[in-house]
């Protein structure tokens, strides 16, 4: 439930939202996403968090990051760490949980409602802390994928769960051909 006069902010865990939308078979149109939440309340800020591979000639997420940056999103990025796992596979690690948590806690006193786009159960203590500060917290993810993309403890802690699949007609577009490492 949203109220027109409430101050709200979006906190988008980029890789988590991308994975949830991909599991549901659609891409996010971020212009439509922003418009949808501007319609629901007084949008104070829309944050997008993602790790970027440095030293790559072309990063598939770079055009998205640039577009978001020029279209009203506060970008939070950091270099991803590349490593080789025990099976010899190349892996990329770039967790943005701390950055998202710090921003949410800093802004909490100036907000009425926080919308978290992530199903990561690690955010349950953040949701609890934001609620203690008087913020209502909605979590956007999906239970319609196999397995569900939202941790049960996060869904239970949130004031409101928004099924990503229910937003498909409002913020979705058909998927493009995926490129390796693509988060857009």
Model confidence over 1-45: pLDDT tens digits? Answer: 889 999 999 999 999 999 999 999 999 999 999 999 999 999 999
User: Which residues are bridge partners to 136 per DSSP?
Assistant: 113
Residue 178: pLDDT above 60? no
Give whole-number Cα distances, 20 to 16, 84, 101, 134, 144, in Å: 6, 25, 20, 28, 9
CA neighbor of 14 nearest in space, from 57, 75, 56, 58: 75
At residue 182, the pLDDT reads 53
CATH 3.40.50.12780 assigned to 7-173:
no
């Amino acid at each position: 439930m949203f109220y027109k006069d409430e101050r709200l902010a979006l906190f988008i865990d980029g890789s988590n939202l991308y994975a949830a939308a991909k599991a549901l078979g659609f891409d996010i149109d971020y212009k439509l996403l922003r418009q949808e939440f501007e319609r629901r309340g007084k949008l104070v800020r829309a944050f997008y968090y993602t790790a970027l591979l440095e030293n790559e000639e072309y990063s598939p997420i770079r055009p998205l990051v640039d577009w978001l940056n020029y279209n009203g999103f506060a970008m939070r990025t950091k270099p991803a760490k590349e490593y080789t796992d025990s099976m010899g596979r190349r892996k990329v690690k770039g967790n943005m949980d701390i950055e998202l948590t710090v921003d949410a806690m800093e802004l909490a006193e100036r907000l009425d409602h926080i919308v978290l786009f992530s199903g990561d159960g690690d955010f349950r203590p953040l949701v609890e802390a934001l609620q203690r500060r008087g913020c209502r917290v909605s979590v956007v993810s999906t239970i319609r994928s196999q397995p569900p993309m939202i941790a049960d403890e996060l869904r239970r802690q949130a004031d409101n769960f928004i099924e990503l699949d229910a937003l498909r007609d409002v913020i979705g577009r058909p998927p493009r051909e995926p490129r390796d490492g693509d988060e857009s």
